[in-house]
Amino acid sequence: MRVVGCGCSRTLVSRWVDPRPIGVFDSGVGGLTVLAALERALPQESFLYLGDTARLPYGTKSQASVERYALQCAAVLTARNVKAVVVACNTASAAALPALAAAHPEIPVVGVIAPGAAAVVAATRNRRVAVLATEGTVRAGAYQEAIAALDPSLQVTAICCSVFVALAEEGWGEGAVAELAARRYLGDTFAQQFGPDTLLLGCTHFPLLRRTLAALLPASIALVDSAETTAAAVVALVGERMGCGVGAMGTRFLATDGPERFARVGSLFLGRPLLAVDVERIDV
């Protein structure tokens, strides 16, 4: 399986310095895959991450509820003086990005949908792509619309794989259970039936199942990670509009419930140890 990354440069030149952190939020820990990609791409920046763990998952909620939650999360981040907001949640990006941009015209707001769509359009060769996402993202049709806006000739197949979220959070991204779930969703005839040459992981939890999916699907199918593509979009934004941070203060973590679980599960997504004492519990 070919892997499509961000391909971005880590050397940025800016005419000014903006030391404020970049705000990142998600319904829980899944957005930590986006945060990890951002930290790798922008080591000179500081970040403030908010996981709305009291109200997860967003993927099964109505669009109105997700939009309300997203606006409340963004308000917390902007109150702490962030210089941009990254919506590290596919469901919230699909449901709330226009409302977020309208509510915060003073700073850039970046979602995961547009960068992911652009990446699959650039990667496909046979003009057939597949998107794996949660129920809310598939129902909203956000990726289908974003891809069609870039190239209406592409054939897009969207598949709801909500159980992948629970598997990722249990640390079961590999093994017999993950393989059974992947086969249940994709089946042995997926590649032949739909014929995609590019597969987008349209949920921030799904990179934890990368190896399972790679073993199941033909090696000719390119795997696009929305976390990496979103990081590339923020890299471009930092260089063009926001200025670079200097002497990064690291990352601070906020959660609306369960700092202990957030730290334990979050360590899997972040790829490094995270302690409960480093997670501030807040109300929104």
Ordered DSSP codes for 101-166: HHH-TTS-EE-SHHHHHHHHHHH-SSSEEEEEE-HHHHHHTHHHHHHHHH-TT-EEEEEE-THHHH
Whose tokens are 């079961």? That residue is: 172
Q: What SS3 class is residue 53?
A: coil
pLDDT number for residue 7: 40
> Tokens for 25?
């939020």
pLDDT number for residue 249: 65
pLDDT number for residue 242: 66
2 pLDDT higher than 50:
no
DSSP 174: S
CB 137 within 8 A of CB 90: yes
| Of 36, 216, 238, 232, nearest in space to 224 by CA | 232
First CA to last CA distance, the chain: 41
pLDDT tens-place string over residues 17-66? 788 999 999 999 999 999 999 999 999 899 999 999 999 888 888 899 99
pLDDT tens-place string over residues 165-218? 989 988 899 999 999 999 999 987 788 888 999 999 999 899 999 999 999 999
Q: Within 13 Å of residue 53, how many CA atoms lie on the same side as its CB?
A: 25
What number is the average pLDDT over the span 225-252? 79
pLDDT number for residue 4: 44
pLDDT tens-place string over residues 126-173? 999 999 998 888 888 989 999 999 999 999 999 999 899 989 988 899
Does the annotation mark 244 as catalytic?
no
pLDDT number for residue 140: 87
Domains, in order of start, for the chain: 20-110+228-281 (3.40.50.1860), 114-226 (3.40.50.1860)
pLDDT number for residue 244: 63
Q: Which of 8, 89, 161, 244 is catalytic?
A: 89
DSSP 277: G
CB 27 within 8 A of CB 81: no
- What letters, b where the CB count within 10 A reaches 16 and e where it falls short, cover 198-233? bbbbbbbbbbbbbebbbebbeeebbbbbbbbbbbbb
Q: How confident is the model at residue 99 (pLDDT cuts 50, 70, 90)?
A: very high
CB 128 within 8 A of CB 197: yes
pLDDT number for residue 100: 98
| Of 132, 201, 196, 204, nearest in space to 161 by CA | 132
Q: At what angle do helices 90-103 and 63-79 cross, to 10 degrees?
A: 60
Q: How confident is the model at residue 16 (pLDDT cuts 50, 70, 90)?
A: low
Does the annotation mark 8 as catalytic?
no
- Distance (Å, whole) CA 41 – CA 273: 20
> Tokens for 135?
């129920």
